[in-house]
Amino acid sequence: MKIAYVINGPAHTPMKHFARQLGITHAVTSPFSYNFAFNPFAHQWDYMILREIKQEMNDYGMEWDVLEGVNFIDGVKLGLESRDEEIAHFCTLLENMGKLGIKTVCYNWMPVWGWYRSRLNIDVGGGATVTGFNLDDVKDAPGCGITISKDELWANLKYFLEKVVPVAEKNKVKLAVHPDDPPVDCIAGVERILTSSDAMWEVTQLVQSEYNGITLCQGTFATMGENIPAAIRRFGNAGLLHFAHFRDIQGTATNFHETFHHAGKTDMYEAMKCYYEVGFDGVCRPDHVPTMYGDATPDMPAYAVNANLVATGYMLGLIEAVEKEMGIRK
């Protein structure tokens, strides 16, 4: 188990300092979080762009393990004419990640909306706020003029995987698809498909490969109503758990809010223990934390700095407890 921090551009500079102070040596980031003014013609998949970010992480004593956030493949998801060009860019990204030793890419299959919240400042006490979603908030929201069926989304995903999995295998970069967040059937007219553990499993079976796996986002699996330890065992024992988001929620897919890591509905100790039981040696990061009173980054809902530190301490405590129980640590 390797704890990592999200370092998304200059706004997350404090996290690099805190990482060094706490001994966190693994980083998760994405090129689209950076403004490369020195090269206005640069693309997210360019070798030199990736190399520059990797060097920045290394200078802070961190290793860039996961590229999370690919925002240039909506044409593939929607089956547009641009899809083959976008797939070619994605393959270039994989090739350059392989050259640089960046081991995992986390992508999603949520066209148009991405991860979606209808509320960004739900008070959970003491001035701490969290994000949340209520389907009733968006039931009358106007559509975006784009419609696509579930069958089309599945067909487009298979087309994508058939093209990119061989490139991932050749370059030894793991694909880790993120579930739909929130895991509801449709938002403002746009369908969703990755809304259950079975659906996530189906992705891995479309093109079977040890490099075609998932991001186990605990919060999203929890909103699905899935048993988190069972999900960890299912994908971990199959060797398809490539990346994990350690977070929790209260509620259901149609009405939920984020929580502090210790205050949700998941047995987090049992979850941590399961990662060890299945031999998970990948990266796990704290995710979707509250914004606390006086936070240094109050304008970054779900990615504020202070509660990330709280989550880190909680995770380190769970790791110590599990390792002592399993005889790994005295």
DSSP state of 275: H
pLDDT at 38 over 60: no
Residue ranges of alpha helices (H) inside 41-196 are 47-59, 74-78, 83-100, 135-138, 150-171
What share of the chain has pLDDT > 90, as a percent? 79
**Is residue 257 assigned to a domain?**
yes
**Contact assessment for residue 164 and residue 91, using Cβ atoms and an 8 Å cutoff:** yes
- 148-191 pLDDT tens trace: 999 999 999 999 999 999 999 999 999 999 999 999 999 988 99
User: Into how many domains does the chain fold?
Assistant: 1
CATH of the domain at 213: 3.20.20.150
**Contact assessment for residue 19 and residue 62, using Cβ atoms and an 8 Å cutoff:** yes
| Pairing status of strand 2-6 against strand 26-29 | parallel
Question: Where residue 295 falls among pLDDT bands split at 50, 70, 90?
Answer: confident
**Is residue 125 assigned to a domain?**
yes
**Is residue 330 assigned to a domain?**
no
pLDDT at 112 over 70: yes
**Contact assessment for residue 188 and residue 133, using Cβ atoms and an 8 Å cutoff:** no
**Is residue 85 assigned to a domain?**
yes
- 208-262 pLDDT tens trace: 999 999 999 999 999 999 999 999 999 999 999 999 999 999 999 999 999 999 9
Q: What is the pLDDT of residue 37?
A: 53
**Contact assessment for residue 196 and residue 226, using Cβ atoms and an 8 Å cutoff:** yes
**Average pLDDT across the chain, whole number:** 93
The domain in which residue 257 lies consists of: 2-325
- 4-19 pLDDT tens trace: 999 877 767 788 888 9
Which residue is it, tokens 């498909």? 193
Q: What is the H or E stretch that residue 119 is in?
A: strand 119-125
**Is residue 157 assigned to a domain?**
yes
**Is residue 211 assigned to a domain?**
yes
316 contacts: CB under 8 Å, gap ≥ 6: 3, 22
Using alpha carbons only, give the angle 59, 63, 68 rounded to the nearest 5 degrees. Answer: 115
